[in-house]
């Protein structure tokens, strides 16, 4: 077998696997994990159930692969660049927060979150896979950026991982709860931007550079003794 043929075989196999994951994504979000089956997914992708088992040993394994791929795509959408050396912290946090809410609170992102949380109670390993590949990885990458900003004085000394989780919480806590409870419509860009601006203001009030804190503090004046 030539090298070219070997390469083509790998590409074809990867393309087939991606097609299966695309079909699985549609089925899982349309009918949920419990109602989905390998037969339904095979019919959606246009192949046999046996073909699916050549790639995934079970529906659970297929679902976990779908979850990990979805999380990887989300990471690229949210964390394309975070706190590169010299970057303006406020600007980067605003962009990051808006990307986060756009992915987490709208369209398929929110539906996937609901789907995974519902299944996590029956299959804890799927919940852990989602958390590790999604929120856990995102917080870790953000913590690395925060650590760089602390090192060069753009942020105050802090625990980078705790600060990362706190920023995410500030951004999404209110709207995520409301969306999960169907208590608000899908937020638009202006609503998202306003929510993130408030989160960034609060975060920088806690972790912004000390010089900036001192510059905004009120100046006390003392009258001299009457003479």
Q: What is the pLDDT of residues 3-28, one digit of tens each?
A: 333 333 333 458 888 899 999 988 88
Is the model's pLDDT at 1 over the cut of 60?
A: no
Confidence of residue 36 (pLDDT cuts 50, 70, 90): confident
Domains and CATH numbers, the chain: 1-57 (1.10.10.60), 60-210 (1.10.357.10)
Confidence of residue 32 (pLDDT cuts 50, 70, 90): confident
- 25-37: average pLDDT: 86
- 77-82: average pLDDT: 66
Judge contact between 74 and 100, C-beta under 8 A: no
Q: Give tens-digit pLDDT for 175-193.
A: 999 999 999 999 999 999 9
Q: Give tens-digit pLDDT for 99-108.
A: 899 988 987 7
What is the chain's length? 227
Is the model's pLDDT at 214 over the cut of 80?
A: no
* Sequence-ordered list of residues with C-beta below 8 angstroms from that of 131, at least 6 positions apart, any chain: none
pLDDT at res. 6: 32
Average pLDDT of the chain, as a whole number: 82
Indicate the pTM of the whole model.
0.74
- 69-90: average pLDDT: 76
pLDDT at res. 80: 61
Joined tokens for residue 45: 């992708």
Judge contact between 82 and 96, C-beta under 8 A: yes
Is the model's pLDDT at 210 over the cut of 80?
A: no
**Spatial separation of the C-alpha atoms in residues 194 and 196, rounded to whole Å:** 5
Confidence of residue 77 (pLDDT cuts 50, 70, 90): low
């Amino acid at each position: 077998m030539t090298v070219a043929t070997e390469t083509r075989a790998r590409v074809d196999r990867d393309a087939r696997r991606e097609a299966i994951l695309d079909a699985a994504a549609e089925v899982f979000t349309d009918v949920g994990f419990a109602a989905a089956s390998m037969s339904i997914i095979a019919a959606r992708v246009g192949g046999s159930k046996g073909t699916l088992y050549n790639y995934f040993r079970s529906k659970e394994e297929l679902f976990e692969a779908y979850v990990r791929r979805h999380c990887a795509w989300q990471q690229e959408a949210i964390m394309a660049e975070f706190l590169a050396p010299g970057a303006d912290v406020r600007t980067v946090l605003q962009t990051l927060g808006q990307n986060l809410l756009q992915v987490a609170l709208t369209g398929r992102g929110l539906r996937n979150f609901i789907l995974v949380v519902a299944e996590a109670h029956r299959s804890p390993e799927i919940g852990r896979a989602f958390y590790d590949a999604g929120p856990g990885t995102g917080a870790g990458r953000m913590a690395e950026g925060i650590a760089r900003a602390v090192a060069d004085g753009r942020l105050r000394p802090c625990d980078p991982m705790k600060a990362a989780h706190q920023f995410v919480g500030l951004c999404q806590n209110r709207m995520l709860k409301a969306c999960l409870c169907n208590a608000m419509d899908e937020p638009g860009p202006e609503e998202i931007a306003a929510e993130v601006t408030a989160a960034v203001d609060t975060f920088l009030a806690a972790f912004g550079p000390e010089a900036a804190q001192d510059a905004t503090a009120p100046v006390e004046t003392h009258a001299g003794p009457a003479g």
